Amino acid sequence: MHAVDMVVSNAVIEHVGDEHDQRAFLEEHDRVGHVWVITTPNRRFPIEPHTATLLRHHSAAWRDSQDDFTRMLTKRELRAMLPSGARIVGH
């Protein structure tokens, strides 16, 4: 039985850590929520959404210099982490 009807995370998954941490984040959503909604910026979008700069997030040197860990996902990476039966809506 789920603890809540709906869990919503708006632009959080990219800040929880590495792939293992992100998978655990999704598993916890699935454990506690009957339905869950996760929004996340698409890594392939040309403007980095946290700093509003063009293409900066594609630079490994810039990513490595950030104190705030950000691991943005592609749609394919997110889909690979979701439990079977989950669906992605949107672009």
Domain borders along the chain are 4-81
What pLDDT is recorded for position 28? 94
- Give the type of residue at 46: P
pLDDT 10s digits, 73-91:
888 899 899 988 888 777 6
Per the model's pLDDT, the better-predicted residue between 71 and 29 turns out to be 29
State phi, psi for 37 to the nearest 5 degrees.
-125, 125
Is the pLDDT reported for residue 13 higher than 90? yes
State phi, psi for 3 to the nearest 5 degrees.
-75, -30
What pLDDT is recorded for position 26? 94
Per the model's pLDDT, the better-predicted residue between 72 and 37 turns out to be 37
Beta strands (DSSP E) in 14-62 are: 33-39, 47-48, 53-54
